Amino acid sequence: MDVISVIRTKRDRGELSPEQIDWVIDAYTRGVVADEQMSALAMAILLNGMNRTEIARWTAAMIASGERMNFDSLSRPTADKHSTGGVGDKITLPLAPLVAACGAAVPQLSGRGLGHTGGTLDKLESIPGWRALLSNEEMLHVLDTTGAVICAAGDGLAPADKKLYALRDVTGTVEAIPLIASSIMSKKIAEGTGSLVLDVKVGTGAFMKNIEDARELARTMVGLGTDSGVKTVALLTDMSTPLGLTAGNALEVRESVEVLAGGGPADVVELTIALAKEMLDAAGIKDADPAKALADGSAMDHWRRMIAAQGGDPDAALPVAREQHVVTASSSGVLTRLDAYAVGVGAWRLGAGRARKEDPVQAGAGIELHAKPGDTVTAGQPLMTLHTDTPEKFDYALSSLEGCYDVSPAGTAFSATPIVLDRIA
């Protein structure tokens, strides 16, 4: 085997053989295949695709690159959730402790930001002392004692994906459906969860811009999970508008705590509860009420224990960016559009995301929204506040926000897009 022949096969729209797939994943994991060579192959896959046989074999090779976990020792059924990524998508933060409060164990392996989308680990690392890296023994202990854990995949779990995940972020290949599906499902299957709920985002702020592509991705992942014995279901959810009122790291943690305290934006609460119901149903827990667990404080109790168990201080003040810039409405009327992608890129440019895989992120950077589509606004009213420690980034971020919203005349009828668009099982 040689990597050039593998690249050429996919470049020329051929089907990769099982032997080619097994070899290239193993060789890349061992460092025999260089980043620039895997970048070329990833781009060829983005442009020319893979069939179901190739995707299944690619996923199996990713799983085989490392170890597999087992949660049979737990007294609770396990349920996990994964989002394909969006703008302001902080749902994992309130969701994991909420589902734990309702009786399931949530082994949530999460990732860093990809492109314009935020990363759960980047968000939680804005909490002083919180640790993303846990050993398998530590992960099991936190899960057993608190009911939920949110952490990075260990070095032994699908190490091929860990390398490829970071590479995709900086080579323009994040959107490749075969690579998205195999990346997500290799980790989730190797993780050992008994059931899995997928939140497949659709819209300008998602990697899947239209619902047909989102359905294809959802069906691919549901098939991979089901074939591996993991009860898997997917919800297609709207990402044409940012979720909630914040996009950034500490900003989103603050909003998540508001949800756990019984408040927070209505769309975040609605999606959190919808996903919680799916996770509990998949885990076989039929009599729990997630809305009640938010209202009575039990979800907040689980959050505090989960954060503390990973070294974080749930009472510590969150980082605040040193500089702010306010964007105001240019006219009066009804806000009818707020583009999620533009907001995500703006937050990324302010320092909430990374341009290279080794770049740090700013904990306090991001965008705070003061209005959402359907709201009435007046000329000069604040629409959003930009946060960063590096004010020289404001102009760069503002250029991404040009034309990102529409204000229609007062009285214009507005119909909001449903948050949940479809369900694939």
**Residues carrying an active site annotation:** 82, 161, 168, 183, 187
Q: How many CB atoms lie within 10 A of CB 281?
A: 16
CA dihedral 8, 9, 12, 15 (to 10 degrees): -160
Sign of CA pseudo-dihedral 261, 267, 272, 273: positive
The first and second tokens of residue 364, run together, are 């306090």
The vertex-354 CA angle with 349 and 360, nearest 5°, equals 115
Query: How far, in Å, CA of 192 to CA of 415, rounded?
Result: 41
Q: How far is the CA of 353 from the CAs of 366, 393, 425, in angstroms?
A: 9, 13, 33
Spatial separation of the C-alpha atoms in residues 136 and 188, rounded to whole Å: 15
Q: Is 248 left (phi over 0), alpha (psi -120 to 50) or beta?
A: left
Q: Which of 393, 296, 21, 410 is nearest to 178 (CA)?
A: 21
Strands 382-388 and 323-328: antiparallel
